[in-house]
Amino acid sequence: MYDPRPNVDFALAERIGTRWFWSSALHNQDIEVLVAKGRATLTGTVATWLDREQAAYDAYSVGARYVDNDLLVSTAGGR
């Protein structure tokens, strides 16, 4: 049967991605998000520990109930 409600996990993933897109620190970082039942899992690599924490904070701020922050911090020295 057709469910007319929007896919809330997809919508949450889109909101998180949009927040990162407009972030001066995160817009060009290698971050992926997977959302299942309101839980966001973040994977990829960021330049700094601050970027790692900001990515998780942004996910919470747009509606994630839980965030599994599996982001790695680059060892290349970054910014």
If one compares 6 and 41, the residue with the highest pLDDT of the two is: 41
Q: Does some domain include residue 44?
A: yes
pLDDT tens-digit series, residues 18-76? 999 999 999 999 999 999 989 999 999 999 999 999 999 999 999 999 999 999 999 87
Contacts of 40 (CB under 8 A, 6+ apart): 12, 13, 16, 33, 34, 59, 64, 66, 67, 68
Q: Does some domain include residue 3?
A: no
Q: Return the half-sphere exposure (C-beta side, CA atoms, 13 A cut-off) of residue 44.
A: 17
CATH number at residue 12: 3.30.1340.30
Residue 48 near residue 78, CB atoms below 8 Å = yes
Q: Does some domain include residue 54?
A: yes
pLDDT tens-digit series, residues 63-79? 999 999 999 999 875 45
This prediction's pTM? 0.86
Quote the domain boundaries for residue 19. 8-73
Residue 3: predicted pLDDT: 52
Q: Does some domain include residue 43?
A: yes
Q: For the chain, how many structural domains are there in total?
A: 1
> If DSSP codes are grouped into helix, strand and coil, which group holds residue 33?
strand
Q: Does some domain include residue 2?
A: no
